[in-house]
Amino acid sequence: MSFWDWCLPYRKLVQAMADEVKKNVRRIALGLLGVLVILFGYLSYIQVIEGEALAANSLNRRSAQSGMQIERGKILDRNGKVLAFSERQPDGQYVRRYPYGAVLAHVVGYSNSSYGNTGIESRFNRDLSGIKNPWRVLGPLANLWNSKAGNNVVTTIDAELQTIAYRALGNRRGAVVALNPKTGAILAMVSKPSFNPEDVDTEWKILVNDPESRLLNRAVQGLYPPGSTLKVMVAEAALREKVTDTKQLFTCEGTWKIGKDYELSESHHQAHGKVNLEDALAVSCNITFGKLTVQLGPKRFAEAFTRFGFDRPTGLEIGDAPSELPDFNRLSEGELAQTGIGQGSLLVTPLRMAMIAAAMANQGNIMTPYLVTEINAPDGSQMETYSGKLLLTATSPELAQIVSKMMVSVVDRGTGSAAGLGRGSVAGKTGTAENPHGEPHAWFIGFAPVDNPQIAVAVILENSGYGGAEAAPVARQIFAGALR
């Protein structure tokens, strides 16, 4: 028996004791490693599933930090005029400059590290910031595309026309939309009162609490009763549905009792006498259009709104407020007549009304309104281009032609004469929208030149009085500026 054999019982005992402890160690190992594996799962959850939200959290300063390190792209007008650019500071960071200041504040928007982005600055942020490539997906590879400067955005805006429109509004609250009816390109978009995007940091508190809502882009976010400008569409609907024709004579006695308690009256309280449809539009006869709307009935009236696209988004890049349409089937006859002359609960944006004028100017076709034509790399190479595309066909070329001719009469011999630039050159329609906030809103929609339309506009002046007296002269200045 060797020494080792003699030791065997003792070694076995040690072994047995160690084995028992090992059972416990194995349990601890499984438990601890199990918890670490759960931690691994949790880490994956944080980085992958929660990651998207954490990266986008407004308190996460990463995007603002990276934004200040690279030169943000320029925003240019259709002629290459600079609307926004980044200026390098001595500390190497960039500050955003807006040469047109308040004139283009709502369209161009602002880009601010504390308060975010608006307008084109917001919608095209990825292009402008140079982080167009979704770097979260590509990871480090995305750095290969990250340039020292963001891409430039070329807009459809005509800065000169914009300035003319901005000045034409004066100190009044209101909005102007001017677009090319054949393409949908927005030439000017003014909202007043405005603000200087460079002062957002210093005046933020005042701006967000402003009772006049200077930050609001009234041209696309402001909702107004369209007033008599809606009669353009009602005329089209009445002709299309054969409720009337161009020859029928209507009798206007100044007032019209509908049912028991509704009475429609003319704005100047005069009787228009015997008028055909063209005359009625020219003098903006409420009674004629009220009667036509009642004859159309809720169904065909509602269909007109659908044909002109009121129930769908316009597709404008910076977004716009959806129209507020009444529930046509529940309207009484009186309410129907009211809605037919653009009063009542119907609310629309100035952009929508400009698109109605544009439909008549463009043979019944409404183009998708758009603001951006090109995105160019800093070296000038084109990265993306956008052009006009058809949004919808609202009416036939023939009907558009007939209604246009009637709109010419509005300017040549009717309420819109202050918008004229010489006989037969401008088509339009005025509106004077009663509202609960005081004086009526003054409206004008129209287009010019009639034989080859280049520009369609909508002008609204809040609580300013009659459309023909207030809004039509503003439109005239814009037409003159566009056709200079």
Partner 1 sequence: MEIMAKHGAEVKLLVLPGLMLLAGIGAVSLAIGKIDSLVLGIAAALAVSFVAVHYLLMWIGRHGDPFLLPIASVLAAIGLIFVFRLKPELFIMQALWVWSGLIAFILAAAVGKRVESWADYKYIWGAVGLILLLVTALFGVEIGGNKNWLIIGPIHLQPSEFAKLFIVLFFAAYLSERRELLAYDTKKIGPLVVPHQRVLAPLLAVWGIAMLMLAIERDLGAAFLFFGTALLMLYMASGRYSYLIWGGGMFSMGAFAVYALYPHVRPRIDTWLNPWADPNGAAFQVVQSLFALGSGGVLGSGLGYGFPNLIPEVHTDFIFSAIGEEMGLLGSGAVLLLYITLVYRVFRIALVAKTVFNVILAGGLAALLGLQILVIVGGVTKFMPLTGVTLPFVSYGGSSMVGTFVLLGLVFALSEVGASDG
Query: Contact between 29 and partner 1 (CB under 8 A)?
Result: yes
Query: Contact between 345 and partner 1 (CB under 8 A)?
Result: no
Query: Contact between 93 and partner 1 (CB under 8 A)?
Result: no
Query: Contact between 136 and partner 1 (CB under 8 A)?
Result: yes
Nearer to partner 1, 22 or 274 (CB): 22
Q: Which two tokens stand for residue 2?
A: 């060797």
Respond yes or no: is residue 464 known to be catalytic. Answer: no
List, in sequence order, every residue forming a beta bridge with 385; answer none if it has no partner.
Answer: 374
Nearer to partner 1, 16 or 327 (CB): 16
**Smallest separation, CB 326 to partner 1 (Å):** 43
Within 13 Å of residue 34, how many CA atoms lie on the same side as its CB?
6
Q: DSSP of 91-141, one letter per residue?
A: TS-EEEE-TTGGGGHHHH--EETTTEE-HHHHHTHHHHHT--S-HHHHGGG
Nearer to partner 1, 66 or 393 (CB): 66
How far is Cα 404 from Cα 390, in angstroms, rounded to an integer? 20
Query: Contact between 52 and partner 1 (CB under 8 A)?
Result: yes
Q: Which stretch binds partner 1 (CB under 8 A): 120-128, 134-142, 438-446, 473-481?
A: 134-142
**Smallest separation, CB 96 to partner 1 (Å):** 20
Q: Which stretch binds partner 1 (CB under 8 A): 23-31, 249-257, 331-339, 376-384?
A: 23-31
Q: Which stretch binds partner 1 (CB under 8 A): 142-150, 234-242, 444-452, 469-477?
A: 142-150
**Which residue among 79, 93, 143, 401 contacts partner 1 (CB under 8 A)?**
143
**Which residue among 9, 90, 92, 140 contacts partner 1 (CB under 8 A)?**
140
Check residue 322 and report its DSSP letter.
P
Asked if 153 and 120 touch (Cβ cutoff 8 Å), the reply is yes
**Which residue among 7, 8, 12, 25 contacts partner 1 (CB under 8 A)?**
25
Q: How, if at all, do strands 94-97 and 82-88 pair?
A: antiparallel
Q: With the C-alpha atoms ordered 355, 361, 366, 371, is the resulting torsion angle positive or negative?
A: negative
Helix (H, G, I), strand (E, B) or coil at 169: helix
**Smallest separation, CB 40 to partner 1 (Å):** 5
Interactions with partner 1, residue window 382-441 (CB under 8 A): none
Q: Which two tokens stand for residue 89?
A: 């500071």
Query: Contact between 91 and partner 1 (CB under 8 A)?
Result: no
**Residue holding tokens 């959850």?**
45
Catalytic residue, from 129, 194, 228, 464: name it. Answer: 228
How distant, in Å, are the alpha carbons of 293, 354, 355, 362, 401 from that of 392? 23, 15, 11, 11, 17
**Which residue among 90, 139, 436, 438 contacts partner 1 (CB under 8 A)?**
139
**Which residue among 12, 62, 312, 423 contacts partner 1 (CB under 8 A)?**
62
Name the burial class of residue 101, with classes exposed (0-12), middle (13-18) and buried (19+) by CB atoms within 10 angstroms of its CB.
middle
List, in sequence order, every residue forming a beta bridge with 116; answer none if it has no partner.
Answer: 112
Nearer to partner 1, 37 or 483 (CB): 37
**Which residue among 43, 206, 383, 483 contacts partner 1 (CB under 8 A)?**
43
Nearer to partner 1, 15 or 401 (CB): 15
Single out the residue of 413, 415, 365 nearest to residue 392, CA to CA: 365
List, in sequence order, every residue forming a beta bridge with 94; answer none if it has no partner.
Answer: 88
How far is Cα 127 from Cα 121, in angstroms, rounded to an integer? 9
Nearer to partner 1, 17 or 271 (CB): 17
Asked if 339 and 297 touch (Cβ cutoff 8 Å), the reply is no
Binding track over 260-299 against partner 1, x by CB under 8 A: ----------------------------------------
**Residue holding tokens 């044909």?**
307
Query: Contact between 8 and partner 1 (CB under 8 A)?
Result: no
| Count of other CB atoms within 10 angstroms of residue 103 | 21
Query: Contact between 51 and partner 1 (CB under 8 A)?
Result: yes
Contacts of 220 (CB under 8 A, 6+ apart): 177, 189, 316, 318, 319, 320, 321, 349, 350, 351
Query: Contact between 145 and partner 1 (CB under 8 A)?
Result: no
**Smallest separation, CB 44 to partner 1 (Å):** 6
Query: Contact between 246 and partner 1 (CB under 8 A)?
Result: no
**Which residue among 20, 212, 324, 398 contacts partner 1 (CB under 8 A)?**
20
**Which residue among 7, 8, 12, 22 contacts partner 1 (CB under 8 A)?**
22
User: What is the identity of the amino acid at 456?
Assistant: A
Query: Contact between 50 and partner 1 (CB under 8 A)?
Result: yes
Check residue 46 and report its DSSP letter.
I
Helix (H, G, I), strand (E, B) or coil at 445: strand
**Which residue among 7, 8, 12, 14 contacts partner 1 (CB under 8 A)?**
14
**Smallest separation, CB 139 to partner 1 (Å):** 2
Q: What is the CA radius of gyration of the chain?
A: 32
Task: Provide the greatest CA pair distance for the chain.
Answer: 139
**Smallest separation, CB 93 to partner 1 (Å):** 14
Give the catalytic positions in this structure.
228
Residues at the contact surface with partner 1, assessed by CB under 8 A: 14-15, 17-18, 20-29, 32-33, 35-37, 39-40, 42-44, 46-48, 50-55, 57, 59-62, 65-66, 135-143, 146
